Structure 1
Amino acid sequence: MRTQVIKPRIREILSKELPPELVSLLPKRWVKIGDVLLLPLRPELEPYKHRIAQVYAEVIGAKTVLRKGHIHGETRKPDYELLYGNDTVTVHVENGIKYKLDVAKIMFSPANVKERVRMANIARPDELVVDMFAGIGHLSLPIAVHCKAKVIAIEKDPYTFKFLVENIHLNKVQDRMTAYNMDNRDFPGENIADRILMGYVVKTHDFIPKALEIAKDEAIIHYHNTVPEKLMPEEPFETFKKIAREHGYDVEKLNELRIKRYAPGVWHVVLDLRVYKV
């Protein structure tokens, strides 16, 4: 995945077709996931959006162009407009991992790349890792491929789950990675996980009791959530600690990282936590 600056050839072509005042409004940055381009377009460019998308696709080398939009709902679905091409399914290769996905319907954030890479060195081969919000395997595929650990990947959305299963086979880790299409709160495992991934935001705290149920004593939980900057650094650790204590656990914070800005004044963060049964 690459975030790049505008290429001179794009400006050269479109400066002959667009009014001069609009040329300066052309997107200066874009994101390429596999061979699908995500392009942010200002409203002023609306009348020319399909031609702009075509030029970007031809110069950059993309089969499809989507207009960047917003992410909605419990399963974090993107709301993107198709501007050029018709095939939004692609295979994106990152850090030796093949991610097959439908870019129009499944979120894949460029800003989370460091966390995906970090997961490739986080676990030991003898661990059992449970990914409670697996998606297409964003965070758990690096663990299965590079760490050689056993992984249970839980994904609620049936369409996303289809790609998760494909990616397990595409990366040849079906011997150590198992996928479940269910709400993680219905997962029957208890006291099994050496490590838990909670790669969700906004309402991740609602799933803390289930994570504790799945965790072994002294398990590590990688807890993602969004938090207003004015509440940091106390949050989100204080909320996790409070809920954990209500369920008979103590918590040690091992590490805290800022992933990206989620909204003005709000950060997406991840805490590495060790939990102890009291």
Structure 2
Amino acid sequence: MVRKNTRTIKPRIREILSKKLPSELVGLLPKHWVQIGDVLILPLREELLPYKNEIAAVYAQVLGVKTVLRKGWILGEFREPHYEIIYGNDPVTIHKENGIFYKLDVSRVMFSPANVKERIRMASIAKPNELVVDMFAGIGHLSLPIAKHCKARVIAIEKNPYTFKFLVENIELNRVQDRMMAYNIDNRDFPGEGIADRILMGYVIRTHEFIPKALSIAKEEAVIHYHNTVPERLMPEEPFRTFRKIAREHGYEAERLKELVIKRYAPGVWHVVVDIKVFKK
């Protein structure tokens, strides 16, 4: 995706819409947006909703996108977006990043541009021929870079059938079928035990509930990339403290290798990832 100069784009948008909107609304126009492939996610204040289609058409014209979505909420077990299409009719796009092609339906499948540094980090995290198990694969956000750039073997598990469809397409699109296998199941039903050199746990809020399953998949010594959301008042002890406690209950010791803040999740709450080495006691 080519980055556009917003310093020239924003005045242009305001200039066009100042002829279409009441003057008091022009100052409420979004100054920030998210573009994924050729689909735009636009946050709109309630006062602008009567003009949402006109506004979306102008943003689409100036930014050169095919579809505009009104930003809504991310809800449910599958972290699904609930976004309204306000311009165009095709929310499916291909987003290219760091040599990886991600095909997805932006209106129904989660993809966070704020996680870009973590996706790029994954492109150099593993060794060739390591066996990596991605317990919450999505469309391959974290595991596609590992398969393509690290040349590792990957088992990608995704429970949501609609998201899984894009995961399979992305494996083919990135030509990693020879080293990446996908399962459309709940990761707790995955039959493999003691097989993984490395495990990805790219989930939030309830990730700790899946630690016992991750340990059962891990070899006697392995690395787990453990994501979770943490109130700021509990950092830096959490989330590693909880992980280590559960690991010890299941016969594993845990060593914190690295901890990174991914992004602000909510006021006073952060999405973090901890790289943890686990080994049998």
Shorter-chain TM-score: which interval? over 0.9
Work out whether 1:222 is the aligned partner of 2:225.
Answer: yes
CA distance in 2, matches of 1:148, 1:160: 24
SS at match of 2:255: strand
RMSD after superposition: 1.1
Q: 1-side partners of 2:165 and 2:196: how far apart?
A: 24
- TM superposition shift of 1:74: 0.5
Letter of the structure 1 residue corresponding to residue 147 of structure 2: A
CA–CA distance in 1 between the matches of 2:241 and 2:4?
Answer: 35
Structure-1 separation of matches of 2:222 and 2:127? 13
In the aligned structure 2, how far is the partner of 1:69 from the partner of 1:146?
Answer: 34
Pick from 213, 228, 248 the counterpart of residue 251 of structure 2.
248
The one of 189, 193, 197 aligned to 2:196: 193
For residues 83 and 54 of structure 2, what CA distance do their matches in structure 1 show? 17
Segments of structure 1 that go 5 or more residues without pairing to the other structure are none
Deviation at 1:7, TM superposition (A): 2.5
Which residues in structure 2 correspond to 1:1-278 (within 5 Å)?
Answer: 5=6, 6-278=9-281
Describe the shift of the 1:101–1:4 C-alpha distance in structure 2 as closer, same or farther (beyond 3 A). farther
Q: SS state of the match for residue 146, structure 1?
A: helix
User: Which whole-Å CA distance do the structure 2 matches of 1:252 and 1:130 have between them?
Assistant: 19
Q: Which structure 1 residue ranges, 4+ long, deviate > 3 Å from structure 2?
A: 1-6
Q: For 1:34-78, what per-residue CA distance to the aligned partner results, in whole angstroms no more than 9, with x for missing partners? A: 100000001110111100000000110010000111100001100
TM-score for both structures, normalised by structure 2: 0.97
Secondary structure at the counterpart of residue 11 of structure 1: helix
Q: Aligned pairs, how many?
A: 278
Instruction: Specify the code of the residue in structure 2 equivalent to 1:179.
Output: A
Deviation, 1:3, is 9.2
| In 2, Cα distance between equivalents of 1:7 and 1:27 | 9
Distance 1:33 1:76, change over 3 A: same
SS at match of 2:33: strand
Gaps of 5+ in 2: none
Distance in 1 separating the partners of 2:59 and 2:207: 37
- Distance, in Å, in 1 between the alignment partners of 2:11 and 2:95 is 26
Per the TM alignment, residue 16 of structure 1 is displaced from its structure 2 partner at its CA by 1.1
Given that 1:25 and 1:42 are in contact with CA atoms closer than 8 Å, whether structure 2 keeps it comes out as yes
The answer to whether the 8 A contact 1:4-1:31 is kept is: no
User: Distance between the aligned counterparts of 2:276 and 2:5, measured in 1?
Assistant: 35
Measured in 1, the distance between the counterparts of 2:4 and 2:169 equals 26
